[in-house]
């Protein structure tokens, strides 16, 4: 059963790659506006958990419910509509399109959804200014620093006003100072938009920006709030 | 932290009353632990006796100690020496946590649970410090960062120990 007020919830998730059990009964839940860190050693299954929650990977068993709808009951096109419209993604490396300018990159999800260029770029600039990179609009990704590029990527994840942001090691390629800035701006922007953030990280200083943490070990999850 | 050297360093900018010194100390370095006035008074008496400060003037009436202190040349040299000497790095070789882990293993209690509880407690403090850092000025950020990096080091140790519990259990039960 989904706990009251939960936006995204997973119960008893199992996923194996050949003989390797990546997830072995993992649980997860998140509320709107909440930031939950997913931690654990390399190979513990935390990225698989994120991919399942985001509908990128289909678990072998278990249920994932988003806003009252079961992900397994959706077909491929419904799931990809969900990923485009309701979810935002930030990865370790910004994965910006090098041929486009920064503002075109941020506007891209809106353009793909059929929004006209002018309006899409106006919205993009709003989010770029939230992330303090509005002045980089006309530059291409190759012309900006790693930290700036990652903030452009966060603006792109926020531009469709998603209800859940999946961030997989968003500061992994950054130095401490830039990592902190990305985390501060990402969590502030998400909280003010009441978006939930699923934050996969192995850095505890990054996890300290969350409201609570889940630790994944050997494919099983532990809610650290409940053990104290 | 050497209170004497810190107060001396603050006096180098110019003479101050005891109360001003306490206020300057609390503002810059006190954070959660403001200096007791009695400690300022006893420290200044010691510095006076050692010739590192001198009384620059006394105001009549008012509070308990209206002496105005000034740093002497010997005091300036003392600050200079203190600043130029490196602090001894903390060896961290006597850890309560390590003792607890070994005892838990020896007595057949849950060492992994102990580590998890500690981990959650460390992260709870890290969240409080991270929030304070977000709202604070640069000085506050630097003080919190210092604490955060130390807590992070502890957490890394907790993780590494958790991963080696099986091996450690075999060794301590030998």
Question: Using an 8 Å Cβ cutoff, are A185 and A131 in contact?
Answer: yes
Question: Using an 8 Å Cβ cutoff, are A50 and A198 in contact?
Answer: yes
Structure tokens at A214: 């889940």
Q: How confident is the model at residue B28 (pLDDT cuts 50, 70, 90)?
A: confident
Q: What pLDDT is attached to residue A1? A: 45
> pLDDT tens digit string along A61-104?
999 999 999 988 898 889 888 888 899 999 888 689 999 999 99
Q: What pLDDT is attached to residue B78? A: 94
Helices and strands counted in chain B (H then E)? 8, 3
Task: Give CA A159 to chain center in angstroms.
Answer: 13
Question: Is it the case that residue A143 has pLDDT exceeding 90?
Answer: yes
Q: What pLDDT is attached to residue A225? A: 72
Place domain A8-86+162-223 in its CATH homologous superfamily.
P-loop containing nucleotide triphosphate hydrolases (3.40.50.300)
Residue of chain B whose Cα is closest to the Cα of A44: B163
What mean pLDDT comes out for the span B128-149? 92
Residue of chain B whose Cα is closest to the Cα of A211: B127
Edge-to-edge strand list for the sheet holding A61-66: A20-30, A8-17, A61-66, A69-70
* Cβ-defined contact of B152 to A227 (cutoff 8 Å): no
What mean pLDDT comes out for the span A95-114? 94
> pLDDT tens digit string along A16-50?
999 999 999 999 999 999 999 999 888 889 999 99
A211 contact residues in B (CB cutoff 8 A):
127
Nearest to A106 by CA among A171, A161, A185, A56: A161
E strands of A8-111, at which residues?
A: 8-17, 20-30, 35-39, 61-66, 69-70, 87-90
Please state the pTM of the whole predicted model.
0.83
In this complex, the residue of B119, B126, B159 whose CB is nearest that of residue A224 is: B119
How many C-beta atoms surround the C-beta of residue B19 within 10 A? Answer: 15
Alpha-carbon distance A47 to B169, whole Å?
30
Alpha-carbon distance A190 to A170, whole Å?
14
- Looking at the complex, report in whole angstroms how far the Cα of residue A44 sits from the nearest Cα belonging to chain B: 12
Percent of chain B with pLDDT over 70: 97
Domain B3-84, architecture per CATH: Orthogonal Bundle (1.10)
Q: How confident is the model at residue A2 (pLDDT cuts 50, 70, 90)?
A: low
Q: What pLDDT is attached to residue A81? A: 87
Q: In chain A, what are the domain boundaries? A: 8-86+162-223
Question: Using an 8 Å Cβ cutoff, are B126 and B148 in contact?
Answer: yes
> pLDDT tens digit string along B66-113?
789 999 999 999 999 999 888 888 778 778 889 999 999 988 888 998
Question: Is it the case that residue B62 has pLDDT exceeding 70?
Answer: no
Nearest to A43 by CA among A180, A219, A171: A219
What mean pLDDT comes out for the span B113-118? 90
- Looking at the complex, report in whole angstroms how far the Cα of residue B169 sits from the nearest Cα belonging to chain A: 19
* Cβ-defined contact of B127 to A208 (cutoff 8 Å): yes
Q: Strand A164-168 and strand A87-90: pairing? A: parallel
Nearest to A53 by CA among A43, A63, A40: A63
> pLDDT tens digit string along A177-225?
889 989 999 999 999 899 999 999 989 999 999 999 999 988 889 887 7
DSSP label at residue A135: G
Q: How confident is the model at residue B61 (pLDDT cuts 50, 70, 90)?
A: low
* Cβ-defined contact of B119 to A222 (cutoff 8 Å): no
């Amino acid at each position: 059963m989904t706990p009251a007020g939960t936006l995204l919830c997973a119960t008893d998730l199992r996923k194996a790659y050949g003989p390797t059990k990546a997830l072995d009964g993992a649980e997860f839940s998140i509320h709107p506006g909440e930031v939950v860190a997913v931690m654990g050693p390399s190979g513990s299954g935390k990225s698989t958990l994120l991919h399942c929650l985001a509908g990128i990977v289909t678990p072998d068993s278990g249920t994932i419910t988003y806003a009252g709808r079961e992900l397994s009951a959706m077909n491929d096109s419904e799931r990809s509509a969900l990923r485009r419209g309701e979810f935002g993604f930030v990865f370790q490396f910004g994965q910006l399109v090098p041929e486009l300018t920064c503002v075109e990159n941020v506007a891209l999800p809106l353009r793909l959804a059929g929004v006209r260029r002018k309006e899409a770029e106006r919205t993009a600039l709003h989010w770029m200014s939230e992330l303090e990179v509005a002045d980089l609009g006309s530059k291409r990704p190759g012309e900006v620093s790693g930290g700036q590029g990652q903030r452009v990527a966060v603006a792109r994840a926020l531009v469709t006003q998603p209800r859940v942001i999946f961030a997989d090691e968003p500061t992994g390629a950054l130095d401490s100072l830039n990592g902190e800035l990305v985390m501060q701006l990402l969590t502030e922007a998400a909280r003010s938009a009441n978006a939930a953030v699923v934050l996969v990280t192995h850095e505890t200083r990054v996890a300290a920006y969350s409201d609570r943490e889940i630790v994944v070990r050997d494919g099983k999850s532990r809610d650290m709030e409940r053990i104290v | 932290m050497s209170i004497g050297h810190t107060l001396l360093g603050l006096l180098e900018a110019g003479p101050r009353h005891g109360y001003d010194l306490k206020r300057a100390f609390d503002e810059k370095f006190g954070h959660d632990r403001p200096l007791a006035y009695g400690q300022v008074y006893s420290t200044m008496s010691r510095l006076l006796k050692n010739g590192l400060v001198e009384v620059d003037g006394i105001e009549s009436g008012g509070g308990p100690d209206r002496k105005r202190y000034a740093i002497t040349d010997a005091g300036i040299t003392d600050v200079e020496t203190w600043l130029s000497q490196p602090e001894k790095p903390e060896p961290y070789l006597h850890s309560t946590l390590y003792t607890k882990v070994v005892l838990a293993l020896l007595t057949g209690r849950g060492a992994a649970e102990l580590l998890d509880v500690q981990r959650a407690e460390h992260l709870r403090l890290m969240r409080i410090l991270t929030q304070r850092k977000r709202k604070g000025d640069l000085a506050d950020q630097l003080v919190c960062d210092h604490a955060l990096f130390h807590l992070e080091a502890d957490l890394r140790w907790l993780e590494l120990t958790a991963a080696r519990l099986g091996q450690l259990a075999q060794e301590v039960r030998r």
